[in-house]
Homo-oligomer: A and B are copies of this chain.
Amino acid sequence: MTSRSSVEPFALRDVAAFDHECDVLVAGFGCAGAAAAFEAARAGADVLVLERASGAGGSSAQSGGELYLGGGTAIQKACGFDDDPDTMFAYLEAALGPHADTEKLRLYCDGSVEHFEWLRECGVPFNSTFYDKPTWMPMSDDGLMWLGENSWPYNTVARPVPRGHRPAAAGFGGGILMERLAAAALGAGAAAHTDTLATNLVLDDDGRVAGVVARKYGKTVLYRARTAVILTTGGFVDDEEMLADHAPVLLGHGKVSDGLDDGSGIRMAAAVGAATRRMGVVEIALTALPAMVCRGMLVDGLGRRFINEDVYPGHWSVHAVRHQPGPYWTIIDEEGFEDVPEPDRWGLRPRYVTETLAELEASLGMPPGSLETTVETYNRHAEKGEDPYFHKDPKWLRPLRAPFAAIDPRAGFFGGGAGQGGSGVAGFTLGGLRTTVDGEVLNGSGVPVLGLYAAGRAASGMHGEGYVSGTSLGDGTFFGRRAGRAAAGTP
């Protein structure tokens, strides 16, 4: 084991002079940092945001931009969907579970319509149009999409309502989201110091967080925070040692991040006794394409189906990588493949095409008869519009007929396909600091570390063991705002 950059706290009494002072110091200018800075500044605090990169954005800016929102937003209404906080809560408790944080989730659902309006006030544009097809991310600028609400078993738990809200951008919407949120924070009065990496907390003799030590262009810069420090430094997918210690399932896979999610905020806080929570929970994306998977089937290395293919794609991804023997394959027939709209193919082509399943399973190294048995079983039930194993929506059920094709999800798109030497799997971490609903960081005795707050992926959020898109930007901004208000003394 190697020793590494020190995250141990500095003592306030050892600091001769600070370079900068503020009321509330925010470390990290992604979505959670922007939201926290906005609210703290709007509450009248003197707010400084440190960002290690040369500008605001963080991993949020490189994301798809989805925000999981509902309860009856203006877009939902405009698109003809009737929603309410309880229905939203029921879905999220199941989809983010088991063991979702129901206290945070309840607040999140109850406050979602207001939060959507806040995003619009910050200048984030949304179109009131609905994208009604399976995808990781529409290439259109539609403002609303499904995120698994219409799939089994979730459609038995809560009335299906789409809640994926998307900034008005074709494809990746994280850029415009962060452009507007950062501008809003600065507009509210927050100042930003870029190229400035927070490295250590400063503690006074009573154990209260009193500032941070930072590095800028190789020099140490000392910041005094009179009221509070808010850590919005992101997760730790980019730190191999933290992954090995806490989430080794992601070792060797692609990273969904801006490359700077090194967990430094989590380590800094733990060094002053902050508790962490669920550090092993991760989100995983297997780079298979929902439009193909729904029309065929996803099978494991033994030729077996293992889930209804119309769930939120992160769910089949986690299920595959966590729970099934690989490699994974999309099995589809010619009719199904031809039915996939060209834009939804993202350039993927079948790797194997055969007239018989016996040939296909042999090509893929599966046990003899395995894929034949799987497809025979699937077809027998699909004839009747049924899927008694996994309950895929009948609209996707149709017997598969020769010729058949197998598509290697690792041949895929973002996150490093096999073609780019990747594993076809990319992910990020969901565990982090243990916080109250107001972002107060708790120590191992369950007591707040005075003067310390956290939000975004530096904190453990609403999630249990499950995940759907939009709940990172969603809880990062929602609980970032709450942390900003609480840190400014106006909860």
Interface positions of A (Cβ within 8 A of B): 1-8, 98-99, 103, 241, 244-246, 248-249, 251, 267-268, 270-273, 275-281, 302, 304, 322-324, 367-370, 373, 377, 380, 388-389, 434, 436, 442-447, 460, 464-465
Contact = CB atoms under 8 A, between A and B. Distances in A.
Contact of A443 (B8, B370, B445): B8
Given A271-B273, A323-B323, A373-B377, A279 B444 contact: no
A326 to B, nearest CB: 12
A248 B465 contact: yes
Q: How many copies does the complex hold?
A: 2
Given A367-B388, A447-B6, A275 B270 contact: yes
Contacts of A434: 1, 245
Given A246-B279, A251-B99, A445 B1 contact: no
Contacts of A271: 273, 443-445
A413 to B, nearest CB: 26
A368 B377 CA distance: 10
Contacts of A322: 322-323
Contacts of A7: 444-445
B377 A447 contact: no
A375 to B, nearest CB: 12
Nearest to A434: B245
Given A8-B443, A99-B244, A369 B373 contact: no
Given A245-B460, A271-B443, A280-B280, 6 more contacts: A1-B446, A4-B445, A8-B447, A267-B445, A279-B280, A367-B389
13 contacts: A1-B442, A3-B445, A3-B446, A8-B273, A8-B443, A99-B248, A245-B434, A245-B460, A249-B465, A271-B444, A276-B279, A279-B280, A370-B388
Q: Which 8 A-B pairs rank lowest in CB-CB distance, beginning with the nearest? A: A280-B280, A367-B388, A323-B323, A99-B248, A3-B446, A267-B444, A6-B445, A245-B277
A4 B244 contact: no
A446 B245 contact: no
A38 to B, nearest CB: 26
A389 to B, nearest CB: 5
A373 B370 contact: no
A2 B446 contact: yes
A341 to B, nearest CB: 32
Contacts of A6: 445, 447
Contacts of A367: 388-389
A488 to B, nearest CB: 22
Contacts of A460: 245
Given A367-B389, A377-B369, A436-B1, A245 B447 contact: no
A8 to B, nearest CB: 6
A323 B325 CA distance: 11
Contacts of A3: 445-447
Contacts of A267: 444-445
Contacts of A272: 273
A280 B277 CA distance: 10
Given A8-B273, A367-B388, A436-B1, A278 B246 contact: yes
